[in-house]
């Protein structure tokens, strides 16, 4: 059975800084990098050959997970653990999005 993506909402009412999220990722042995998209950008369905960890720094993004019949929206501080080979698409929110991403080796 395929592992399901895991969403971890940010637990505090105060949004984290990019440097705080960066440190969390480095503390897990990840090598984060930042990426961003303009409002309403769309990624069509695709997969990756690696496990991916994404934290939203600013804005929002909605991931479609057709294999699981789900859509999940991430906001500042939220984390997505996306297993390798999981089909997903993405729709950036009205404010655009800034994310940190790191890859876990299999």
The topology (CATH level 3) of 6-104 is Jelly Rolls (2.60.120)
Q: In the chain, where are the structural domains located?
A: 6-104
pTM for this entry: 0.94
Residue 101 has a pLDDT of 98
Q: How many CB atoms are located within 10 Å of the residue 84 CB?
A: 15
Angular region, 78: left φ>0, alpha ψ -120 to 50, beta rest: beta
Q: Kindly report, residue by residue over 5-61, the tens digit of the pLDDT.
A: 999 999 999 999 999 999 999 999 999 999 999 999 999 999 999 999 999 999 999
Closest CA to 57 of 86, 24, 100: 100
């Amino acid at each position: 059975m395929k592992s399901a993506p895991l969403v971890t909402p940010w637990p505090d009412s105060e949004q984290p800084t990019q440097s705080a999220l960066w440190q969390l990722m480095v503390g897990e042995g990840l090598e984060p990098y930042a990426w961003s998209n303009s409002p309403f950008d769309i990624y069509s369905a695709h997969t990756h050959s690696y496990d991916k960890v994404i934290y939203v720094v600013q804005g929002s993004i909605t991931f479609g997970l057709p294999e699981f019949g789900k859509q999940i929206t991430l906001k500042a501080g939220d984390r997505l653990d996306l297993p390798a080979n999981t089909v997903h698409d993405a729709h950036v929110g009205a404010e655009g999005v800034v994310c940190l991403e790191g890859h876990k080796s299999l």
